[in-house]
Amino acid sequence: MFKQSKPLFFICETPLHAGSGSDLGIVDLPIQRERHTSFPKIEGSSFKGAVREAVEQKSVDFTANNKTLKTNDKKHCVALAFGPEDGDAHAGALGFSDARLLLFPVKSVKGVFAWVTCPKVLEQFKRDMSLTGITVTITGNEPKSDNCITESKNLKIGNDKIVLEEYAFTIGSSYDVTIDNKALGAWLSKLITDGFWKDKLTTDIVILSNDDFKDFVNLSTEVITRTKIDNKTGTVQAGALFTEEFLPAESIMYSLVLASPVFLKDKDKKEAILQTDVDVMNYFATALPDVIQIGGDATLGKGIVRVVKSLLTAKEVSNG
């Protein structure tokens, strides 16, 4: 049973393709989406695999239970945390939820771009954060279609308009999302060290209606046409013209990281560096690089994300 649950946020530094396979629609290689909402996501299995690969490649100094991680212990620790690479001797002590989209970047007439979200996303975020002990408070009325909620002066045109892509929205009544008495953007900015992100997150978040948000995340992703040139003819090789969808750079997502005590027999557990759920979570927070690659087209520089690890530190959980 998982005893620790922590949020892991990440920001796409480059466009990200977590693919769902080939499709008969307009886009040949679409991204993964929730079935019932069509909002972009990354399957927990895809996310776990990318994270495991990143952890395996990083050298780390880690101490727990009066033992220090040595080079030849690294593979064993990864197996305890993520599960054995071969066979099924025991389960891994780490679990990962699907990565959900929290903020989606959209071109703005003023301010270059804005991050958009919607009540459906924020309500799900509230429920997910409650599992980690973080309380999200939502008050006010949801925006109607063609209306929006924002405090940003950078995006505003005139007194009460903003323009995203080619669509104008009227700034409407209040809809407040707070965490620890801070607005969502201000709270997120506290987790990030980069000056640009801190400033822009504080100001340039826009809450749209659920329907308007759905339109943007379906119609404003990046779709790139790929070709393969035949070296002999200098023309496109037959059957090698296809389109591929990407979640745009600057997208902000989150996943829940879950930890349990390691799955070993008691006599073996006493000799292991990782034993408790706290050991496992703290090892993960230490071993996870600040920048990792997720999804396809790694050789094209796609899928590079910056992770926010400041909320991963674990504490003992009382059984009472």
Sign of CA dihedral 125, 130, 131, 133: positive
- Judged against a pLDDT cut of 90, whether residue 52 lies above it is answered with yes
pLDDT digits (tens, 9 = 90+) for 170-221: 998 889 999 999 999 999 999 887 777 788 999 999 999 999 999 999 999 9
Q: What is the mean pLDDT of the chain?
A: 90
3-state secondary structure of 120: helix
Rounded Cα distance, 86 and 78, in Å: 12
> What pLDDT is recorded for position 42?
98
- Judged against a pLDDT cut of 60, whether residue 320 lies above it is answered with no
- Judged against a pLDDT cut of 90, whether residue 144 lies above it is answered with yes
Token readout for 74 is 């690294």
pLDDT digits (tens, 9 = 90+) for 295-308: 999 999 999 999 99
Best CA proximity match to 100, nearest among 114, 117, 112, 113: 117
Mean pLDDT computed over 56-67: 77
Considering only residues 54 and 238, tell me which one the structure prediction assigns the higher pLDDT: 54
Length of the chain: 320
**Band of residue 275 on the pLDDT scale cut at 50, 70, 90:** confident
How many Cα atoms within 13 Å fall on the side-chain side of residue 276?
11
- Global pTM reads 0.91
Distances (CA, A) of 192 to 121, 141, 174, 200: 21, 29, 26, 11
* DSSP for residue 71: G
Mean pLDDT computed over 13-42: 91
DSSP string for 161-207: EEEETTEEEEE-S-EEEEETTEEHHHHHHHT---HHHHHHHHH-EEE
What residues form DSSP beta bridges with 113?
Answer: 107
What residues contact 28, with CB distance under 8 A and at least 6 apart? 22, 242, 243, 244
Best CA proximity match to 123, nearest among 198, 200, 175, 173: 175
Task: Look at the block and give the residue holding tokens 């997120």.
Answer: 188
> What pLDDT is recorded for position 62?
75
Contact between residue 51 and residue 45 where contact means Cβ atoms under 8 Å apart: no
Rounded Cα distance, 171 and 155, in Å: 11
Sign of CA dihedral 240, 244, 249, 253: negative
- Judged against a pLDDT cut of 80, whether residue 63 lies above it is answered with no
